[in-house]
């Protein structure tokens, strides 16, 4: 039988226990399952593997994949190949953390509670917001829940979302909205940026939330000067999706008037893992806290006046408020939030700034070099952070095939999400890419087609 090493009961234990219970056999313990629904066969699963065999099997599956450690990646679109310091896995690998669950019993969960409190604080410091939760599933669900929060707080049922917001997030948003019977409209693009004049036309007193992204899906910094005013004039809420790593360099969302800040936290020391587990971040101004979904840790004192931490404002949550809860979220991405906290603690404001600046410099170096080649043009004018869109002289799929032969994971094709953007590709360049790697990419692109 498989997994015996995880099952401590012996046959003798089982016999003694059955007799304590006062039944004859194991079968008797299952006699409450009506015979018509009893499984009349054994499960048909492949034979059990020993630990060694399982590791071999999983190794063989892993070996069939190319990955960021044996290729040079220029893929982004919301998930990036950033450097992850060794400290992170040593902290998240402490089993007091990873084998615990939601800290319902604070007196024996001070570790995770304090770590969450510190995480919340650092997310607030980066965004300029007053409160942050820990956490949402990913950037997409954070965007959707952020827009719903706006509906809850304004008691309106419509949101606008810019087409420059990640199509991955918009897909989730659309689904959440249509299921709940909320309305969603898209603000068109202008040169790869949100068309703010269209936003001005579209926003009215029916609109609850306006969702924008900075930097946007094409890696471009949007000019958000005055945008919040347009939105606030209609008492609507500005929901900003951000890359937290960019916030040591780019203006804090609070400074341009964001009300709710959401986003994907993967850039904070989290491996890409084929797109999950990721980290949905969410922060907001104080007045939205009652509508905020998810776990929030708060400071308090114990019976002797010692500082301690607890989950708080739980009347927002499903286990107390049931159908009136602000969200159904229960299990979240706590361990990933812990990883992000360790990342922020290790890098500090200076380290994160250095990473962000290197991304900016390297991405712009790459963009300049590539667009000097004939046939490669910037798809849009503007300022790029760590990613840029190029119009290329052929099919992205074919280019990626060619690059793959050199163990380069090329860019992301924009056309599946923007049919009008044929032969357009997104390239991401993080601090991890060396000049040599970028130059190699440029050489490979040169003369293609």
Ligand X SMILES: Cc1ncc(COP(=O)(O)O)c(C=O)c1O
| Window 316 to 355, contacts with ligand X (CB under 6 A) | 330-331
338 binds another protein (CB under 8 A): yes
Nearer to another protein, 22 or 447 (CB): 22
| Inter-CA distances, 113 with 120, 122, 293, 295, 330, Å | 10, 14, 17, 10, 16
Query: Is residue 280 a contact partner of residue 353, using CB atoms and an 8 Å limit?
Result: no
Q: Residue 440 binds what, of another protein, ligand X, none (CB under 5 to 8 Å, by partner type)? A: none
Backbone torsions φ then ψ of 4, nearest 5 degrees: -60, -30
The window from 204-212, 235-243, 319-327, 441-449 that contacts another protein (CB under 8 A) reads: 319-327
Q: Residue 58 binds what, of another protein, ligand X, none (CB under 5 to 8 Å, by partner type)? A: another protein
Q: How far is CA 284 from the centre of its chain?
A: 17
Nearer to another protein, 174 or 234 (CB): 174
Name residues contacting another protein, limited to 140-179 (CB under 8 A).
Answer: 140-141, 166, 168-169, 171-172, 174-176, 179
d(CA 438, CA 435): 5
Q: Residue 220 binds what, of another protein, ligand X, none (CB under 5 to 8 Å, by partner type)? A: none
- Which one of residues 198, 234, 257, 365 is an interface residue with another protein (CB under 8 A)? 365
Q: For residue 195, with 0-12 CB atoms within 10 Å meaning exposed, 13-18 middle and 19 or more buried, which class applies?
A: middle
Query: Is residue 237 a contact partner of residue 153, using CB atoms and an 8 Å limit?
Result: yes
Shortest Å distance, C-beta 411 to another protein: 9
Strand partners for 426 = 389, 412
- Which one of residues 114, 371, 391, 440 is an interface residue with another protein (CB under 8 A)? 114
33 binds another protein (CB under 8 A): yes
Residue whose C-alpha is closest to residue 115's, from 335, 276, 267:
335
Q: Residue 415 binds what, of ligand X, another protein, none (CB under 5 to 8 Å, by partner type)? A: none
Q: Residue 124 binds what, of another protein, ligand X, none (CB under 5 to 8 Å, by partner type)? A: another protein
Nearer to another protein, 141 or 204 (CB): 141
Name residues contacting ligand X, limited to 164-183 (CB under 6 A).
Answer: none
d(CA 182, CA 173): 10
Residue whose C-alpha is closest to residue 78's, from 195, 171, 198:
171
Pick left, alpha or beta for residue 77 (phi over 0 → left; psi -120 to 50 → alpha; otherwise beta).
Answer: left
d(CA 148, CA 150): 5
Q: Residue 274 binds what, of another protein, ligand X, none (CB under 5 to 8 Å, by partner type)? A: another protein
Shortest Å distance, C-beta 190 to another protein: 18
The window from 196-204, 233-241, 293-301, 441-449 that contacts another protein (CB under 8 A) reads: 293-301
Nearer to another protein, 24 or 204 (CB): 24
In the shown chain, the binding pattern of residues 196 to 225 toward another protein, with x for contact by CB under 8 A and - for none, equals -------------------------x-x-x
- Which one of residues 24, 273, 394, 443 is an interface residue with another protein (CB under 8 A)? 273
Nearer to ligand X, 95 or 331 (CB): 331
- Which one of residues 202, 252, 373, 442 is an interface residue with another protein (CB under 8 A)? 252
Q: For residue 378, with 0-12 CB atoms within 10 Å meaning exposed, 13-18 middle and 19 or more buried, which class applies?
A: middle
Q: Count residues contacting ligand X (CB under 6 A)?
A: 2
Write the DSSP string, 3-16: TGGG----HHHHHH
d(CA 116, CA 107): 15
d(CA 326, CA 312): 14
Q: Count residues contacting another protein (CB under 8 A)?
A: 209
Nearer to ligand X, 72 or 332 (CB): 332
- Which one of residues 45, 405, 420, 447 is an interface residue with another protein (CB under 8 A)? 45
First and final CA of the chain: distance in angstroms? Answer: 58
Shortest Å distance, C-beta 330 to ligand X: 3
| Inter-CA distances, 246 with 129, 223, 344, 351, 434, Å | 16, 15, 13, 12, 20
Q: Strand runs (DSSP E) across 147-205, as ranges?
A: 158-162, 183-187, 189-190, 193-194
Nearer to another protein, 331 or 447 (CB): 331
In the shown chain, the binding pattern of residues 397 to 416 toward ligand X, with x for contact by CB under 6 A and - for none, equals --------------------
The window from 190-198, 199-207, 228-236, 352-360 that contacts another protein (CB under 8 A) reads: 352-360
Pairing of strands 183-187, 158-162: parallel
3-state secondary structure of 379: coil
Q: Residue 295 binds what, of another protein, ligand X, none (CB under 5 to 8 Å, by partner type)? A: another protein
Size of the chain, expressed as the number of residues it contains: 449
Residues that bind ligand X (CB under 6 A): 330-331
């Amino acid at each position: 039988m498989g997994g015996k090493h995880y099952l401590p009961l012996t046959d003798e234990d089982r016999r003694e226990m059955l007799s304590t219970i006062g039944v004859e056999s194991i079968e008797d313990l299952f006699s409450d399952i009506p015979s018509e629904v009893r499984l009349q066969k054994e499960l048909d699963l492949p034979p059990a593997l020993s630990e060694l065999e399982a590791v071999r099997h999983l190794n063989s599956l892993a070996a069939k994949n190319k990955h960021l450690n044996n290729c040079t990646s220029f893929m982004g679109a919301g998930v990036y190949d950033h450097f992850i310091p060794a400290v992170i896995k040593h902290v998240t690998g402490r089993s007091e953390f990873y084998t615990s669950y939601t800290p319902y019993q604070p007196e024996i969960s001070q570790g995770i509670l304090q770590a969450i409190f510190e995480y919340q604080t650092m997310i607030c410091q980066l965004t300029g917001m007053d409160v942050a939760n820990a956490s949402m599933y990913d950037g997409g669900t954070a965007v959707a829940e952020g827009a719903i929060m706006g509906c809850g707080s304004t008691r309106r049922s419509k949101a606008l979302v810019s087409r420059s917001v990640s199509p991955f997030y918009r897909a989730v948003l659309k689904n959440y909205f249509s299921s709940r019977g909320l309305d969603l409209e898209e603000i068109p693009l202008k040169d790869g940026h949100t068309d703010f004049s269209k936003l001005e036309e579209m926003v009215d007193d029916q609109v609850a939330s306006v969702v924008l992204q900075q930097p946007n899906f094409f890696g471009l910094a949007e000019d958000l000067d005055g945008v919040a005013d347009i939105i606030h004039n209609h008492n609507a809420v500005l929901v900003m999706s951000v890359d937290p790593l960019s916030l040591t360099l780019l203006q804090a969302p609070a400074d341009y008037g964001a009300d709710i800040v959401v986003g994907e936290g993967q850039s904070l020391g989290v491996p890409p893992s084929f797109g999950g587990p990721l980290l949905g971040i969410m922060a907001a101004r104080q007045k939205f806290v009652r509508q905020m979904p998810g776990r929030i840790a708060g400071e308090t004192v114990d019976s002797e006046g010692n500082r301690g931490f607890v989950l708080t404002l739980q009347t927002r949550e499903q286990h107390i408020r049931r159908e009136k809860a602000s969200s159904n979220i229960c299990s979240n991405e706590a361990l990933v939030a812990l990883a992000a906290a360790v990342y922020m603690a290790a890098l500090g404001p200076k380290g994160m700034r250095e990473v962000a600046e290197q991304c900016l410099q390297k991405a712009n170096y790459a963009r300049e070099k590539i667009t000097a080649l004939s046939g490669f043009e910037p798809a849009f004018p503007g300022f790029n952070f760590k990613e840029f869109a190029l119009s290329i002289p052929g099919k992205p799929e074919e280019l990626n095939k060619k690059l793959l032969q050199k163990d380069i994971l090329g860019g992301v094709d924009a056309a599946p999400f923007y049919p009008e953007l044929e032969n357009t590709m997104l390239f991401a360049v993080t601090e991890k890419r060396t000049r040599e790697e970028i130059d190699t990419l440029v050489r490979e692109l040169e003369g293609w087609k």
